[in-house]
Amino acid sequence: MSPPRSLARLQFHAGFTLDDAVGVVDYYARLGVSHLYASPILRARAGSTHGYDVVDCHQVNPEIGGEDALRRLVAALRERGMGLIVDIVPNHMGIGPENAWWTDVLRHGRESRYAQYFDIDWQSPDPLLRGRLLLPVLGAGYDATLREEHLHLVRRRGEWALRLYDDHLPLSPASVRDLGDDAEARHDPSTEEGRARLHELIERQHYRLAFWKLASDMVNYRRFFDVNELAGLRIERHVVFEDTHATVFRLYAEGLIDGVRCDHVDGLADPRGYCRRLRHRLERLRTRRPPGAPRDAAYLVVEKILAEDEPLRTDWRVDGTTGYEFMDQVSAVLHDEAGEGVLTGLWRDVTGDAADFATQAVRARRQILVDSFESELDRTARALFVAARADVASRDVSLAGIRRVLVELLVHFPVYRTYAGGMGRDAFDEAIFSRAVEGALRTVRGEDADLLHLVAGWLGGEPLRALPPGPARRARARAIAVFQQATSPVAAKAVEDTAGYRYGRLLSRNEVGVDAARLALSTDAFHARCAERASTFPHTLLTTATHDHKRGEDLRARLAVLSEMAGRWTAAVDRWRERHAPFRQRAEGRLAPSAADELMLYQMLVGAWPLDLTPTDEEGLERFASRVAAWQRKALREAKRWTRWTSPNEPYEDACEDFLRAMLSGEAATELYAFAQYLAAPGAANGLAQTVLRLTTPGVPDLYQGSDDWDFSLVDPDNRRPVDFTRRSASLAQDRPLADAVVTWRDGSVKQGVIRALLCLRKTHPELFARGDYRPLAAVGPASGRVLAFVREHRGRKLLVAVGRHLAPWLAGEAAPTVPAARWAGTTLELPEGEWRAVLAGGRLDGGRVDVARVFDGLTVGVWVSG
């Protein structure tokens, strides 16, 4: 059972528990899935809908059923020969009263046994924070919070505590040692004297309370991105690694899980060291697994965003990534490069902004550093300053100078992070730094140019082992780690969560792990990436939908069609903008929505329009409007132009929602509906091509919950809505031939049928998919550019895959995603010798020159096996 043949991702929470999953095991088994793939299962904060805010690493979350339910789920899986992969969160924990480790740190400060578990800077330059922890948990300023009596000294469970709103904070033993029975009255915040005593008591704690908005400027613990409620762990310390992974290791040793997906590996101080240690520990536990549990190597993948041409290091000893790079590649190969110029021109003409995506990303990075990461920037600068002061040769360098050049390096940093260690940077990281320095030299002060080169050298350009042991080496090592941990959250917030919501040339290319500057990918480039994957990470995960995606996989596939009909789209947008001008309102001194926000809204409306929604369905239109309105409000705040999470501009947001709702009524709704229908069939063909490529190219396919049907979901929480498994199971039971299912394609059964056919094929021929080589197959003839094909082979067994692409000229406005054979006339494929059997349709083929129409056999995708 290792590596997995395929994974099916499920999101667990109180509304969908491990016992609920027992009820869908049979469905996934019939579909052909080999492993379920669980969101984090350790105890998270109460009410968590995602599980990434773990508060207790030693307990399976009772809200999702606890360990007893986990055992019931695994028993059901084993009965069907299936396994379980779980998501783990080594980078951070949820903090607050539910986290006993965090509470102990608040009570005992640096003397807590858990003080070194969390990545806390106890040496703050702020004298009020030195040796204390900043808690940015107040809804207003400290003085106002105190005067408004939101802070009280209370007796709780036999101990003195500080009540803040509805939570309780621990008090240090020394501060409460002399409190008497009248302490509550003496510390009553409703009186001047009581308030003064309460303030004095609070000042004696190991933490300092602060307004939540001060976190970005002052917080002295490493956060997950800019989320105050998630604190970074020092997982590089042996005791922290073992304690946080104890339950995961036990579950693996007991045969309850078969592998792990490591969340946000780039947040760790030493990702390579962590992954190798994790692999080593799992390997040692293999022999302890009970009969009935697979003894093969544990499956191990990491969540990692790879830039174009960035390699995943082979010495990490992982099976691969969670597949964002594949999501990028398969999307790009379905886009038409010919539409790039027209779409770019439309965006510039409508918005008046000539900045490309790269420029938008640089602007966003600069803003994000100021808005969200001042404390992280300060921490990194101080780490470098300490390193500089530790060396006589650089003792005259100023903290302010280091901070200036550090800003420019971070602004121009082209990847999520580098991985410099004791030997310095490898060749790839050196090239990355050269690009960052080149960009920074264009914007840094002239007198700081030498310092820029010096700082770049300190950050891994010079091997640490070249320095003599001592303070200088230790300080430099710490500076490198802090810098490398800072670059990935800055990149994620700037690129994914800011620039991606500002630049809207074509939103199908604004996705996690995607460079929106690149619209399309050639078939040759796609083949090259598949072949490389087969030789380096043949078992990496392949995904097209996740719990983090911005747009569902079939929504992106439909929007890709606009790259083929850019002229028609431009004409429609021009017409709509003129016709809908009366719907715009003036809010806070500006028209709402802005031109950019309006253009992106049009894309989302035609891209996400449900297949069964008509303009006369008032209830359906209201549901759709509510979903898109939630996306729109989030998108506006993430863009951080006219509104943002920290200071919402509700008049602007409300005016934008009014505009949206006007679009979904009357003539406007009818025209949007008509355009969405025009895109529907070629969009579905793209969706089927994407599905087939995920299930047949080198790697392990990941099926995100619900995406076995058409997936037109929006950004979270929309992409985490409940899945109707009853309907899916009934559809699967019908076992309709794909030739029939494609006629009623809007019900999703054709996509489900393709998935089942290919997952069952993977089950029948596991070695072919796990170890088969990859060879491109070039079509010849007038429609050759509309075919992507390849052959995989292992020990005489062969797989032929062909998918149609750029089919909008043939399918736009058609009733179904089917292409008449005449369209393919004169276009052929040269098949390897042998007899070929159809997987998706009936019939057989002999090797040699074959008409593409016969390969597709009425569909827009074709899969055949031989041998």
Average pLDDT, the chain: 96
**Are the C-beta atoms of residues 154 and 161 closer than 8 Å to each other?**
yes
pLDDT in tens, 360-388: 999 999 999 988 999 889 988 998 898 88
Any idea what the CATH number is for the domain that residue 282 is in?
A: 3.20.20.80
Instruction: State yes or no: pLDDT of 2 exceeds 70.
Output: no
pLDDT the model gives residue 462:
85
* DSSP letter for each residue of 49-96: SSS-SEEEEEEE-GGGTHHHHHHHHHHHHHHTT-EEEEEE--SEEE-S
Count CB neighbours of 767 within 10 A.
Answer: 10
Q: Which amino acid is at 273?
A: G
Do 205 and 258 belong to one domain? no
Which residue among 192, 210, 229 closes a domain? 229
Residue 743: helix, strand or coil by DSSP? coil
Domain assignment present for 218 = yes
Using pLDDT thresholds of 50, 70 and 90, give the confidence band for residue 308.
Answer: confident
What DSSP designation does 314 have?
G
Count CB neighbours of 450 within 10 A.
Answer: 10
**Would you state the structure tokens that stand for residue 239, as one six-digit string?**
């005791």
* DSSP letter for each residue of 490-525: HHIIIIIIIIHHH--S-GGG--TT--TT-----HHH
Q: Which residues contact 500 (CB under 8 A, 6 or more apart)?
A: 510, 511, 516, 550, 638
For 13, 32, 77, 253, 657, the CA distances from 72, given in Å and listed in that order, are 17, 21, 9, 17, 46
Strands 151-156 and 159-164, sheet pairing: antiparallel
How many domains does one find in the chain? 4
Which residue among 634, 651, 678 closes a domain? 678
Any idea what the CATH number is for the domain that residue 105 is in?
A: 3.30.1590.10
Do 197 and 153 belong to one domain? yes
Do 306 and 415 belong to one domain? no
CA nearest neighbour of 656 among 581, 743, 597? 597
Using pLDDT thresholds of 50, 70 and 90, give the confidence band for residue 3.
Answer: confident
Do 361 and 488 belong to one domain? yes
Do 17 and 138 belong to one domain? no
Do 222 and 241 belong to one domain? no
Do 254 and 197 belong to one domain? no
Q: Which residues contact 182 (CB under 8 A, 6 or more apart)?
A: none
pLDDT in tens, 727-751: 999 999 999 999 999 999 999 999 9
Beta strands in 126-247 (DSSP E): 133-138, 151-156, 159-164, 167-170, 207-211, 223-224, 227-232
* DSSP letter for each residue of 230-254: EEEB-TTSHHHHHHHHHHHHHHHHT
As a dihedral over the C-alpha atoms of residue 4, residue 9, residue 12, residue 17, rounded to 10 degrees, the angle is: -70
pLDDT in tens, 639-670: 999 999 999 999 999 999 999 999 999 999 99
Domain boundaries, position 275:
7-91+235-322
Domain assignment present for 635 = yes
Do 134 and 245 belong to one domain? no
Do 497 and 362 belong to one domain? yes
* Average pLDDT for 322-344: 98
* Average pLDDT for 614-628: 97
Q: Tokens 């080589």: give the residue.
A: 773
pLDDT the model gives residue 125:
86
pLDDT the model gives residue 422:
84
Do 105 and 158 belong to one domain? yes
Which residue among 502, 518, 543 closes a domain? 502
Q: pTM for this structure?
A: 0.96
CA angle 127, 131, 135 (to 5 degrees): 90
Sheet holding 773-777, edge to edge: 773-777, 787-794, 797-804, 861-866, 828-838, 844-851
Domain assignment present for 263 = yes
Strands 787-794 and 797-804, sheet pairing: antiparallel
Q: Which amino acid is at 540?
A: T
* Average pLDDT for 763-787: 97
Domain assignment present for 823 = no
Q: Which amino acid is at 610?
A: P
pLDDT the model gives residue 392:
82
Domain assignment present for 265 = yes
Domain assignment present for 294 = yes
pLDDT in tens, 312-321: 999 999 999 9
CA nearest neighbour of 31 among 742, 755, 740? 755
Do 394 and 493 belong to one domain? yes
Domain assignment present for 146 = yes
> Cα–Cα distance between 736 and 739 in angstroms, integer?
8
**Are the C-beta atoms of residues 7 and 33 closer than 8 Å to each other?**
yes
pLDDT the model gives residue 622:
97
CA nearest neighbour of 325 among 533, 148, 63? 533
pLDDT the model gives residue 593:
98
Domain assignment present for 272 = yes
Instruction: State yes or no: pLDDT of 1 exceeds 50.
Output: no
Per DSSP, what are the bridge partners of residue 704?
A: 9
**Would you state the structure tokens that stand for residue 667, as one six-digit string?**
């003539």
Crossing angle between the packed helical segments 374-389 and 471-491, to the nearest 10 degrees: 160
pLDDT in tens, 100-149: 999 999 999 999 999 999 999 998 888 889 999 999 999 999 999 999 99
pLDDT the model gives residue 89:
98
Instruction: State yes or no: pLDDT of 269 exceeds 50.
Output: yes
Do 253 and 292 belong to one domain? yes
